Structure 1
Amino acid sequence: MDKLDALFDFNATALRVRAQRQEILAANIANADTPNYKARDIDFAASLKKALEANVASAANNAAVSSNGNMSLATTHGKHIPGGTGGVNEADLLYRPLIQGSVDGNSVDGEVERTAFVDNAIHYEANITMLNAQIKDMTAALSPTS
């Protein structure tokens, strides 16, 4: 079953990081008129790599599955910080470079944000399509031939 998990792990992790990026970009768009708001984004490739490494580390460290199905690292001391599933955290967020200054200190450029939002949505859909193709291939391989 570990190989089956590994087969789907990449696309599942990519979908999770893409969804988190979509939330960040949506927050930028929503705060386009907020004074002193600084546009944020992530480096998708670096965040995906970090998330995949966290998934491998949690599996290697005998991760315990909680009652709701979420993975968490087993801790051996009360002061240990429980690990997550390798998502994007505050340290991964980057400030978007200022393209054009504004009087109110807001760094959101609507066109840049909408373009990044649509690009991320297209990549998200592509990940779903690849995941569906993998599931169809797996189903075809497991079904008896007529």
Structure 2
Amino acid sequence: MKLFSNTVSTLEHALNYSSAKQKVISQNIANVDTPNYKAKDVSFKAVLQEVTGQSFQAKRSDARHYEFTSRASSLPGVAGKPNVNYNENGNSVDLDKEMADLATNQIYYNALTERINGKFNSLQTVIRGGK
């Protein structure tokens, strides 16, 4: 018998994704003035593949189409953007975009924590016998 539903497991994986995204955004903001630093981003697709254990590939209708690949990183789903430059020093961090991503991720994280708290409160109510 499973103690927790799949919802709690799914929320846990979503919190891990949000945490990884927060770390990457923080690294990008911290390196905004570092010459030749290339901004990174967390790929939802790569994180989903890791969690589900399934491999998803885009179907190419022509051999000339590009394959979808990502670069390896210590965090799951993190990929760099190698061919983008926003500054004359080779840095590819767009501070406005990073701050917007930070705010979006914070809202996502807050929604997840509220949902998981609701799940645990429901369990607590059941354990107490509805009191």
The TM-score with structure 1 as length reference comes to 0.65
Alignment of 1:38 with 2:23, yes or no, is no
Distance 1:90 1:138 in 2: 32
Q: Report if the CA contact (8 A) 1:28-1:40 is conserved.
A: yes
| Structure (1 or 2) with the greater helix fraction | 1
Alignment of 1:4 with 2:15, yes or no, is no
Counterparts of 1:15-94 in structure 2 under 5 Å?
15-44=15-44, 46-54=45-53, 89=74, 92-94=77-79
Q: Which runs of 5+ in 2 are unaligned?
A: 54-72
**Deviation string, structure 1 residues 38-64 (Cα, Å, up to 9, x no partner):** 1100123x244224315xxxxxxxxxx
Q: Report if the CA contact (8 A) 1:13-1:51 is conserved.
A: no
Counterparts of 1:79-118 in structure 2 under 5 Å?
89=74, 92-96=77-81, 98=84, 101-118=86-103
Supply the RMSD in Å over aligned alpha carbons. 2.5
Tell me: CA distance 1:145–1:124, structure 2 relative to 1, closer, same or farther (3 Å).
closer
Q: Report if the CA contact (8 A) 1:38-1:108 is conserved.
A: yes
- Overall identity of the aligned pairs, in %: 25
Secondary structure at the residue paired with 1:94? strand
Secondary structure at the residue paired with 1:2? coil
Partner of 1:142: 127
Tell me which stretches of 4 or more aligned residues in structure 1 moved more than 3 Å.
88-91
Tell me: CA distance 1:90–1:10, structure 2 relative to 1, closer, same or farther (3 Å).
closer
The TM-score with structure 2 as length reference comes to 0.72
Q: How many residues are aligned here?
A: 112
Residue 7 of structure 1: how far off its partner (Å): 3.6
Q: Which runs of 5+ in 1 are unaligned?
A: 55-87
Distance 1:51 1:91 in 2: 8
